[in-house]
Amino acid sequence: MDAIIITIGDEILVGQTVDTNSAHIARKINELGIQIKEIISISDTADHITSAVDSKIGNCDFLFLTGGLGPTNDDITKKVLTQYFDDDLVLYPEVLERIENFFQQFNKPFLEVNRLQAMLPKNAKIIPNDLGTASGMWFKKGRTNVLSMPGVPYEMKGLLDKFLEQVKEKYPIGNFYHRTLQIIGIGESYWAETIKDWETKNLKEGISVSYLPTVGTLKLRLTGRLDQKSFIDQNMDELYQAHPNYVLGEEFSTIESVLGEILVAQNQTIGTVESCTGGSIAKRIVSMSGSSEFYSGSIISYTNELKSQLVGVPEQIIKTNGAVSQPVVEEMAKHGRRHLKVDYCISVSGIAGPTGGSDEKPVGTVWVGLAGPDFVQSKKFNFGHNRERNIEATTISALNFLRLRLIDKKKEALT
């Protein structure tokens, strides 16, 4: 079975909003073995919506639309689809009651324009929205199932899950099996070279191997038939055993969650002293529920003065070596561990860019320090020229630096 995705909205076309909905829909339906034929973005005008839908009806099993279902006058998708499917808008009392309760729950006034959200196509199947006021609408014409959802990502995700649960009950899908691992600390080409024999083994069995790189990590995905599940799982488990330094975890594993699990299991804590990342490491950690079990806090010492005054790095060391240097990050980690009263302290200092670099220390140069109960160590990284990517890469690399240290410590304990 196949699908086409249409995102509606001028804000996408002008670059004001990044379309993350298509990626989420594609990933979810691909897991069911539904293949994506096309993804397009269109303007939110009646002519564009009608033309796009009309050209796709009959050419796919599923047509997903997001956007244009809000309560304001510029949200016209519901009206256009109702006309296209020769339907009429009628009031759904149960939907109206749910919307009224939604506003009452958040102590907001209920306006007449919100009442219009309960006016929906009479012949469409309505999918309730538990996270907002715009319901999902499921139309059917010929072979094509058309699902219209709001453009707000978290609302769309909730409606899509409901829709796919019903689809799985109705259609013979799900004959594919996927498994994805998160790889960290190695580039795509180097990883491909490392596992080339392993990859060949899978390809010979008709199992596809996909590499999905992002900043600091890489997703490795195997896709095969459902009856190949055991073979795929065995091969993925083989990677876990052979490359524990590089295999972070399953598809949705994050460096902070994996590191947190290790620290909690060992009843140990960490703190951070950040310069070039400006609190990004702390933000990444505390965004995870339960981080208070292992994370104590951070000192953000962006200037040289604060590195001395708050952290305790001797001024002479900074003057002699520069803020972005091995001696400085090691002092930051050592003193930070003492101030924060933690088992381990991570420190970072670098040149995020795009300005501030030199021949000796170009943009993207980062030093990461790590202090523990009986050691202080550091590592130099060289990233690119993009400030945002440098901060992200530094954050991930710093956390992984400690993860690798803990892995080595565990190996030593076992020998």
User: What superfamily in CATH does domain 176-250 come from?
Assistant: Ribosomal protein S10 (3.30.70.600)
Q: What is the pTM of this model?
A: 0.77
**Got the DSSP string for 262-294?**
HHHHTT--EEEEESTTTTHHHHHHHTSTTGGGT
Percent of the chain at pLDDT > 70 equals: 99
Q: Are 56 and 139 in contact (CB under 8 A)?
A: no
Produce one character per residue of 179-217: b if its CB has 16 or more CB atoms within 10 Å, e if not: bbbbbbbbeeeebeebbeebbeebeeeebebeeeeeebb
Q: Are 252 and 180 in contact (CB under 8 A)?
A: no
C-alpha distances in angstroms, 130 versus 95, 101, 106, 111? 11, 11, 14, 19
> Quick check: 213 pLDDT over 80?
yes
User: Does the domain made of 2-170 have the CATH classification 3.40.980.10?
Assistant: yes
Domain ranges of the chain: 2-170, 176-250, 255-414
Give 175's pLDDT tier (boundaries 50, 70, 90).
Answer: confident
**pLDDT score recorded for residue 174:** 66
Query: What is the per-residue pLDDT across 52-61, written as a single tens digit (0 to 9) for each?
Result: 999 999 999 9
How far apart CA 321 and CA 336 sit, in angstroms, is 19
Query: What is the per-residue pLDDT across 352-389, written as a single tens digit (0 to 9) for each?
Result: 999 999 999 999 999 999 999 999 999 999 999 999 99
Query: What is the per-residue pLDDT across 278-293, written as a single tens digit (0 to 9) for each?
Result: 999 999 999 999 999 9
Find how far residue 72's CA is from the centre of its chain: 30
**What class is the 255-414 domain?**
alpha beta
Segment among 107-121, 281-295, 296-310, 333-347 with least mean pLDDT: 107-121
Sign (positive or negative) of CA dihedral 151, 154, 158, 160: positive
Mapped onto helix, strand or coil, the DSSP state of residue 213 is strand
How far apart CA 248 and CA 233 sit, in angstroms, is 16
